[in-house]
């Protein structure tokens, strides 16, 4: 419910409440609801005593539990619905998830949760950060779901290293590295995916992503997908095992990865990977 409301409202999505709520587990969210629920129950308990209505306290006492349950259900179906639409409508998308963008992109000064996709073509694979937004149709006044998209070209990846001061590891020559923080009591393990690439001005940028939708294992899988997508773009060889390859490059025209009207893809002239769409 929080993601459904805040995802298309950038000012709310970059706020501390939405980010803290979305990065929390269901148990953590339940504890937050119980903390605020105590004040709620005390207030309505006093009202019930004054009005001598036990039914009123019983009904209002269920509200915090309903909020927690509705948030879990709406978040699950809304998020997975958006991801399924990205995979089904955009024929250039081979992988999609939701994660928290921490920082590092030259066009994005604020961290927030966003959708991540691997898209593009075999000759130009892209890691795309997408922010949902509502797009108004000027002809009839209706609104549709669109996206503000920011690309990271995988074939322009440079060298990455761990954030901690240590001897350079074997992953130093990969396009993406992982930083892991062990979990504690009431705290999950946190794995951060760091993708390094060279920007349009020739400067090095390190984009950090964490809190993937399906947990720490998905972060590690995405690092593997990024490495394999880059290797397939370089060599043209399909990685081993089940794998969804990107389509070959279309030279004359390019299919738009994100149609702001929400009505599917459309053709447009090819443009550079660093340009904001």
Strands 190-198 and 204-210: what pairing?
antiparallel
pLDDT tens digit sequence for 156-174: 654 433 343 333 332 333 4
- Residue 146 DSSP code: E
Interval 3-8 mean pLDDT: 91
Q: Count of CB atoms within 10 A of residue 171's CB?
A: 15
16: β partners? none
- H helices within the chain, ranges in order? 2-6, 10-13, 16-23, 26-51, 54-61, 63-89, 216-235
CB-based contacts of 138, cutoff 8 Å, min separation 6: none
Which pLDDT does position 230 carry in this prediction?
84
* pLDDT, averaged across the chain: 77
* Contact in structure between 198 and 188 (CB atoms under 8 Å): no
* Contact in structure between 113 and 98 (CB atoms under 8 Å): yes
Q: What is the pTM of this model?
A: 0.75
Cα separation, 51 vs 26, in Å, equals 35
Which pLDDT does position 137 carry in this prediction?
78
Q: Where in the chain are the domains?
A: 2-75, 93-268
pLDDT tens digit sequence for 100-113: 999 999 999 999 99
pLDDT tens digit sequence for 200-217: 777 888 899 999 998 888
């Amino acid at each position: 419910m929080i993601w459904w409301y805040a995802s298309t409202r950038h000012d709310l999505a970059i706020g501390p409440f939405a980010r803290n709520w979305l990065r929390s587990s269901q148990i953590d969210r339940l504890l937050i609801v119980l903390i605020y629920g105590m004040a709620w129950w005390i207030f309505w308990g006093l009202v019930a005593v004054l009005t001598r209505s036990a039914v009123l306290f019983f009904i209002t006492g269920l509200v915090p539990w309903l909020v927690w349950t509705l948030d879990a259900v709406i978040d699950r179906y809304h998020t997975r619905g958006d991801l399924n639409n990205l995979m089904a409508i955009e024929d250039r998308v081979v992988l999609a998830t939701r994660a928290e963008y921490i920082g590092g992109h030259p066009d994005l000064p604020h961290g927030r949760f966003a959708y991540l996709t691997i898209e593009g073509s075999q000759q130009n694979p892209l890691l795309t950060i997408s922010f949902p937004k509502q797009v108004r149709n000027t002809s009839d006044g209706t609104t549709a779901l669109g996206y503000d998209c920011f690309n990271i070209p995988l074939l322009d990846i440079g060298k990455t290293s761990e954030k901690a001061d240590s001897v350079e590891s074997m992953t130093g020559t990969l396009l993406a590295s992982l930083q892991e923080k062990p979990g504690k009591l009431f705290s999950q393990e946190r794995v951060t995916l760091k993708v390094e690439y060279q920007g349009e001005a020739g400067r090095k940028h390190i984009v950090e992503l964490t809190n993937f939708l399906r947990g720490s294992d998905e972060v590690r899988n995405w690092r593997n997908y990024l490495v394999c997508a880059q290797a397939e773009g370089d060599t043209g060889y399909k990685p081993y095992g089940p794998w969804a390859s990107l389509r070959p490059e279309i030279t004359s025209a390019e299919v738009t990865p994100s149609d702001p009207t929400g009505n599917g893809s459309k053709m447009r002239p090819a443009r550079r990977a660093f340009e904001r769409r």
